[in-house]
Every structure is written in C-alpha cells, then in structure tokens.
Amino acid sequence: QQQVKQSPQSLIVQKGGISIINCAYENTAFDYFPWYQQFPGKGPALLIAIRPDVSEKKEGRFTISFNKSAKQFSLHIMDSQPGDSATYFCAARILGNQFYFGTGTSLTVIP
Amino acid sequence: DARVTQTPRHKVTEMGQEVTMRCQPILGHNTVFWYRQTMMQGLELLAYFRNRAPLDDSGMPKDRFSAEMPDATLATLKIQPSEPRDSAVYFCASSRDNQPQHFGDGTRLSIL
C-alpha cells in the first residue's frame, strides 16, 4: 500500500511557468515532509522540507504548501527553468521510524 | 562536502552470479538505508540499519538478498544468486537518527 500518493507522474512546463506537484497521505503520525530532487545518474537530494505545524515554506523559487486538514502537500516551482528538469519525490516521516516516498514526478521545463 | 559513497557505480553480470554492492555512509551518520529504484516501482526501501543493527528488512527478498554492516563505515548489499528481475539502480542513503537522508549516486545493476 502506497503511504504517500504523488501526482502527476510527469509534467511539462514552459520556461517561466509554475510547476506544481501534489502529494497526499493518510497516516496522521507523519511529522515531517521533505521533497527530493533527482537528476539523471544521481541520487535524490533534499530540496526543501516542512513540518505539519506550518502551512507554507518558501526557499527561493521553491515553495511547499501544506494542508493538514486535507492531508495534502504540494511543491510549487516558480519561474521554472530548464535546469529544474528532474524527477521530484515527496516523502513523509514517522518520528522514530522510516521515510515513505511518493512514486516521483518527472518534470520537463521547455525553453 | 560530505557524501555517501557507493561502489561500484555500474555492474553488469550474468544471472546466477553473486553481486555485492558497497556503501560508505557519511561520517557520523548512524542510520543506513538501502533502496531499489525501477521505473515500475519507483523507490522501494529494502532494508535499514541503525547503529549497525538491522531495524527493518521486510522489503528485501530474503532468499537471495542480504544486507550487513560489518562496521560503521561500511554497509553491503548482496544478491546471490542474481536474476534478471534484480536489474535496477540500488541506492544507499545515510542519516543521523531520523534526520533527512543523504543519498549516494547509486549502483546501476544489469543482470543478463
């Protein structure tokens, strides 16, 4: 059973546009929600993360929006650039336990 | 910049052969994870260790896979005998307790 559901599977955005990736979960024991970025031939790298007591976190062009009541969180990439083309994974952690990853979103930003 | 180091980066071998993948976690990290990544399944957790003790290996086919941490600086994942369906990218990640994981660049395994 997939603990974290991620959509869409793939996304194509024009340069300068906004990329939005969504994740949903059921387990209310999750206490930490990171996003990872993966380039071809590389391992996933931590991009940005949020805790459930915060509704939004912004770092540069990357923003996480968190809706605790809906059990959903999303990654927004503003002013998307070709260099942002990568696979993005959301994840969720149960304190004292492991991380659960979404299935990934392949983002392509076209010039 | 501290990194998780995985070797080999690529491995091609024939089915039935033993495969050993190695991981050097970041110094000071006490939790090590092994993941398998495929197009169909995404990132699957195979096993993880804390302070060298296995905490969860339920994601690992027990009949052919084994994971160990001989010491704090080395984690190994072995497949014996290997099968074509084991072809995937295997990632090692490490962390300090429940902090976010740092991933290595993976071992791309092809079983012919």
Closest CB from B91, B93, B98 relative to A95: B98
Which residue's structure tokens are 């994840």? A91
Contact B22, B73 (CB under 8 A): no
The distance of B25 to chain A (nearest Cα, Å) reads: 14
Average pLDDT on B51-62 reads 89
Please, which pLDDT band fits residue B35 given cuts at 50, 70 and 90?
A: very high
Give me the pLDDT at residue B87, please. 96
Q: By CA distance, what is B36's nearest residue in A? A: A43
- The pLDDT of residue A90 is above 90: yes
Which residue's structure tokens are 């660049």? B105
- The pLDDT of residue A97 is above 70: no
* Beta-strand relationship, B53-56 and B31-38: unpaired
CB contact under 8 A, B105 and A45: no
Average pLDDT on A54-77 reads 96
Instruction: Give dist(CA B106, CA A41) in Å, integer.
Output: 8
DSSP B28-87: T--EEEEEEEETTTEEEEEEEEETTEEEE-TTS-TTTEEEEEEETTEEEEEESS--GGG-
Cross-strand bridge partners of residue A32: A93
Give me the pLDDT at residue B109, please. 98
Task: Give the model confidence (pLDDT) of A5-54 as tens digits.
Answer: 999 999 999 999 999 999 999 999 999 999 999 999 999 999 999 999 99
Arithmetic mean of pLDDT over chain B: 93
Task: Give the model confidence (pLDDT) of B64-81 as tens digits.
Answer: 999 999 999 999 999 999
The alpha carbon of B65 is separated from its chain's Cα centroid by a whole number of angstroms, namely 10
Task: Give the model confidence (pLDDT) of B79-96 as tens digits.
Answer: 999 999 999 999 999 999
Task: Give the model confidence (pLDDT) of B6-22 as tens digits.
Answer: 999 999 999 999 999 99
Q: Look at residues A36, A37, A43, A31 and name the one whose alpha carbon lies nearest to residue B37.
A: A43
Instruction: Give dist(CA A96, CA A103) in Å, integer.
Output: 23
Give me the pLDDT at residue A1, please. 66
- The pLDDT of residue A95 is above 80: no
- Residues in A whose CB is inside 8 Å of some CB of B read 32, 34, 36, 41-46, 49, 89, 93, 95-99, 101-104
DSSP B8-21: -SEEEE-TT--EEE
- The pLDDT of residue B40 is above 90: no
Instruction: Give dist(CA B20, CA A95) in Å, integer.
Output: 31
Cross-strand bridge partners of residue A57: A64
